[in-house]
Chain A
Amino acid sequence: MRADAVRGHLDGLLLAVLEPGPLHGYAIITAVQRRSGGALELRTGTIYPALNRLERLGLLRSSWQNEGERRKRCYELTEAGKASLADERGAWREFTAAIGAVLDPRAARGEVT
């Protein structure tokens, strides 16, 4: 999947992989890649400004944590972030249902193809 198609959904993807608990930047990258089965084409370094933006908007908070001999910045969802994730999920379901009903009406009606 191309990077420009992913970009509009990046916030939702980042919030979703942080839902189970705090992660540092590279762990977030690998979680997104693992969940997508490696289908998302994305310059992985570009998630960092997105993480900073989500933190500025109050959807994430971050802190430095020691991991072995290295200090890593760990990100976690705030209450506003959890609410935003729920909104993103709702909007995504509505979007896919509407587009799916047009592109693939038989599948949308639950008929086996």
Chain B
Amino acid sequence: MNRTDPVADYGAELSSALRGPRRLKARMATDITDGFADTLAAHFAKGTSRADAVRAALREFGTPAEIARSCQRELTIAQARHTAGTLVVTVPLMIAGWRLVHSSANAHPWTLPFAVYPLIVAGGLATLLALLTLAATSRPSGEHPLTPLLPSVMAWTGTIASVAMILAATLLFLAAPLAANWPVIVVATVAAVAFHGLVAASARGCRDCAKLAALTA
């Protein structure tokens, strides 16, 4: 560790080791680095030499690698909750969009491909799993025994949902030129692509965190 500013070095090393939702990661890194700064200041106040104070503070507080390992489980659960929250918002909006497309094409019901319906069922299941994940990870009575499995479940649910969203966007895009209600279909297609981006990014983060948590468990 660079000896010029041990607190800044500690914060930088910790931040680079953590994986998870950006805001929580930044908050945890700031809070923990602040605690390390206080620990170091307490050793300086005893009149310990600079090098000894840094060594004693690291021994007492934990090195960035040790603390990052202990934080990763919480960050992984936070990432799973982030993916679940993204699914809970985007999937019902997608289904509402398809419903809008369908109702605006009542005169031409063939404009909505039948293949969209299995996607709606898959979306409903994904939303249900996401809601269960959010409920299981926020119980004041303690963590559900299945909590360690939930990041992987959300990672793959999010991945499948994001694939379904881009598939739905493609179907809608193909249907648009044939349909009288093409403006509505174009809006639904753009929304599906945007939701795919949000869900895919969150699911990718969830997969990375789940892998890391499995390695550090």
Cβ < 8 Å to B, chain A residues 60-102: 70, 72-73, 80, 83-84
CB-CB contacts of B57-75 with A at 8 A, as 1s and 0s? 0001110001100110110
Q: With A26-B39, A56-B74, A56-B138 as given contacts, are A43 and B66 in contact (CB-CB < 8 Å)?
A: yes
Task: Using CB atoms, name the residue of chain B closest to A52.
Answer: B74
CB contacts (< 8 Å) of A26 on chain B: these are 34-35, 38-39
**B139 interface hit (Cβ, 8 Å):** yes
CB contacts (< 8 Å) of A49 on chain B: these are 28, 70-71, 73-74
Do the beta carbons of B137 and A45 come within 8 Å of each other?
no
Do the beta carbons of A45 and B67 come within 8 Å of each other?
yes
Q: With A59-B140, A72-B34, A73-B31 as given contacts, are A45 and B74 in contact (CB-CB < 8 Å)?
A: no
Q: How many residues of B contact A (CB 8 A)?
A: 29
**B105 interface hit (Cβ, 8 Å):** no
Interface residues on A, range: 20 to 34
Do the beta carbons of B74 and A43 come within 8 Å of each other?
no
Do the beta carbons of A45 and B32 come within 8 Å of each other?
yes
Instruction: Give the CA-CA distance A25 to B36 in the complex, in Å.
Output: 10
Instruction: Give the CA-CA distance A45 to B67 in the complex, in Å.
Output: 6
CB contacts (< 8 Å) of A56 on chain B: these are 74, 77-78, 81, 137-138
Task: Using CB atoms, name the residue of chain A closest to B27.
Answer: A73
**A36 interface hit (Cβ, 8 Å):** no
Chain A-chain B contacts (Cβ-Cβ < 8 Å), number: 75
CB contacts (< 8 Å) of A53 on chain B: these are 74, 143
Grouping DSSP codes into helix (H, G, I), strand (E, B) and loop, the A interface class, with mixed when no group exceeds half, is helix
Task: Using CB atoms, name the residue of chain A closest to B36.
Answer: A45
**B47 interface hit (Cβ, 8 Å):** no
Instruction: Give the CA-CA distance A43 to B56 in the complex, in Å.
Output: 12
- Pick from A45, A48, A57: contact of B139, CB below 8 A: A57
CB contacts (< 8 Å) of B34 on chain A: these are 24-26, 70, 72-73
Instruction: Give the CA-CA distance A26 to B31 in the complex, in Å.
Output: 9
CB contacts (< 8 Å) of B32 on chain A: these are 25, 45, 48
**B142 interface hit (Cβ, 8 Å):** yes
- Pick from B31, B78, B81, B142: contact of A48, CB below 8 A: B31
Instruction: Give the CA-CA distance A48 to B31 in the complex, in Å.
Output: 8
Do the beta carbons of A57 and B73 come within 8 Å of each other?
no
A and B contact pairs by CB, cutoff 8 A, 5 listed: A25-B34, A26-B39, A45-B61, A45-B67, A73-B31
